[in-house]
């Protein structure tokens, strides 16, 4: 029978995640010898080495990889138990871990501000990530909810739409197409386009749109942030397809314009997403219900 402690599992999990005793020590606010001792005690309980050192690097052994799997499962069960007991107490408090697509961050903070005013006892942990990172977080069950565009099929996810996400074509006010009405989509084929990185939800949606219209845009720049794209378009380096939510301020101050291109805007939606097997905490349920009720008001 294994004789181990939750503290040993917590320390082991940190070392296994970082593959570093020193990084785990900094994360847990422990000394490195204390971390090494906890891992040694766990190895003695298991009866097998969990790590091996090759040169200056450490690696998990086969036993270590198995223990890492179980340590994550135990941590998830404990988090679920805490959420259940909090819900049974009927307390409007707890922690909420959410991640939002970088494009959604333009309105997510406003929604969060309203939610936190209504639920001041809930501590919110917010991460802003790209689409690939969001899917990885969901896969690893490291968050409660994600806010993103339509998630792919086959990931055992629950996704509910709460807000429209129109995609528009933006340009510099000095662009030759400024003021023209009902611009044919084919006209964009002769323009330089500035796009997000491969895998971005906005880029995938625009690529599907152009494919449907049998157009191959000329890509001039690839950028991994909306801010960089807006700066490049403002400088006259090309056109871009972006979420309308990302350019509200620039349109208001006339630093950017939207072009009247036929079949635009591309109609998309924002979704609140969680794992199908996720038992949502009281805080997560409250935020999900808040988004479904209030998201479309913005």
pLDDT tens, 103-126? 888 888 888 888 988 888 888 999
Structure tokens at 256: 């950017």
Domain contains 144 = yes
State the pLDDT confidence band at 31, using cuts at 50, 70 and 90: very high
Q: d(Cα 99, Cα 145) in Å, to the nearest integer?
A: 7
State the pLDDT confidence band at 243, using cuts at 50, 70 and 90: very high
The CATH number of residue 173's host domain is 3.40.190.10
Indicate whether 171 and 237 sit together in one domain: yes
Structure tokens at 238: 């090309």
pLDDT at position 209: 94
In this structure, are residues 261 and 188 in contact, taking their beta carbons and an 8 Å threshold? yes
Indicate whether 248 and 121 sit together in one domain: no
Indicate whether 207 and 243 sit together in one domain: yes
In this structure, are residues 120 and 93 in contact, taking their beta carbons and an 8 Å threshold? no
Residue 93 has pLDDT above 80, yes or no: no
Residue with tokens 């040993």: 8
As a whole number, the mean pLDDT across the chain is: 89
Mean pLDDT of 255-264: 95
Residue 182 has pLDDT above 70, yes or no: yes
Mean pLDDT of 196-216: 90
What angle is formed at CA 74 by the lines to CA 126 and CA 93, rounded to 5 degrees? 40
Mean pLDDT of 56-74: 91
State the pLDDT confidence band at 89, using cuts at 50, 70 and 90: low
Indicate whether 285 and 242 sit together in one domain: no
Q: d(Cα 105, Cα 110) in Å, to the nearest integer?
A: 9
Q: Which domain holds residue 214?
A: 167-258
pLDDT at position 6: 87
Distances (CA, A) of 78 to 3, 73, 82: 18, 9, 6
Domain contains 264 = no
pLDDT at position 279: 84
Domain count for the chain, please give it. Answer: 3
Q: d(Cα 102, Cα 202) in Å, to the nearest integer?
A: 11
Residue 236 has pLDDT above 90, yes or no: yes
Indicate whether 22 and 58 sit together in one domain: yes
Instruction: Report the percentage of the chain scoring pLDDT > 70.
Output: 95
Mean pLDDT of 58-72: 92
pLDDT at position 297: 52
In this structure, are residues 205 and 148 in contact, taking their beta carbons and an 8 Å threshold? no
State the pLDDT confidence band at 85, using cuts at 50, 70 and 90: confident
Residue 90 has pLDDT above 60, yes or no: no
Residue 12 has pLDDT above 60, yes or no: yes
The CATH number of residue 28's host domain is 1.10.10.10
Structure tokens at 178: 């400024």
Residue 81, judged by CB atoms within 10 A of its CB (0-12, 13-18, 19+), counts as exposed
Indicate whether 124 and 72 sit together in one domain: no
Residue 271 has pLDDT above 70, yes or no: yes
pLDDT at position 178: 94
pLDDT at position 184: 94
pLDDT at position 122: 86
Strand, helix or coil for residue 130: coil
Indicate whether 285 and 158 sit together in one domain: yes
Mean pLDDT of 70-98: 76
């Amino acid at each position: 029978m294994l004789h181990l402690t939750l503290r040993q599992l917590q320390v082991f999990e940190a070392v296994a995640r970082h593959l570093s005793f020193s990084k785990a020590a900094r994360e847990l606010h422990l000394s490195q010898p204390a971390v090494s001792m906890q891992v040694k005690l766990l190895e003695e309980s298991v009866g097998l080495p969990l790590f091996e050192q090759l040169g200056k690097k450490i690696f998990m052994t086969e036993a270590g990889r198995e223990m890492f799997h179980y340590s994550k499962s135990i941590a998830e069960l404990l988090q679920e138990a805490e959420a259940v007991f909090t819900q049974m107490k009927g307390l409007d408090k707890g922690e909420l871990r959410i991640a939002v697509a970088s494009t959604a961050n333009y309105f997510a903070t406003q929604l969060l501000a309203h939610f936190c005013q209504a639920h001041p006892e809930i501590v919110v942990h917010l991460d802003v990530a790209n689409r690939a990172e969001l899917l990885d977080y969901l896969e690893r069950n490291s968050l409660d909810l994600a806010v993103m565009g339509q998630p792919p099929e086959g990931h055992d996810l629950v996704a509910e739409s709460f807000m429209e996400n129109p995609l528009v074509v933006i340009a510099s006010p000095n662009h030759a197409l400024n003021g023209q009405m009902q611009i044919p989509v084919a006209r964009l084929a002769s323009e330089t386009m500035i796009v997000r990185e491969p895998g971005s939800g906005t880029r995938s949606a625009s690529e599907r749109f152009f494919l449907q219209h049998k157009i191959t845009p000329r890509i001039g720049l690839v950028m991994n942030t909306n801010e960089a794209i807006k700066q490049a378009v403002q400088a006259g380096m090309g056109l871009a397809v972006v979420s309308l939510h990302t350019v509200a301020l620039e349109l208001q101050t006339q630093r950017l314009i939207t072009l009247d291109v036929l079949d635009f805007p591309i109609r998309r939606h924002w979704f609140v997403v969680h794992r199908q097997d996720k038992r949502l905490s009281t805080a997560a349920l409250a935020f999900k219900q808040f988004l479904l009720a209030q998201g479309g008001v913005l």
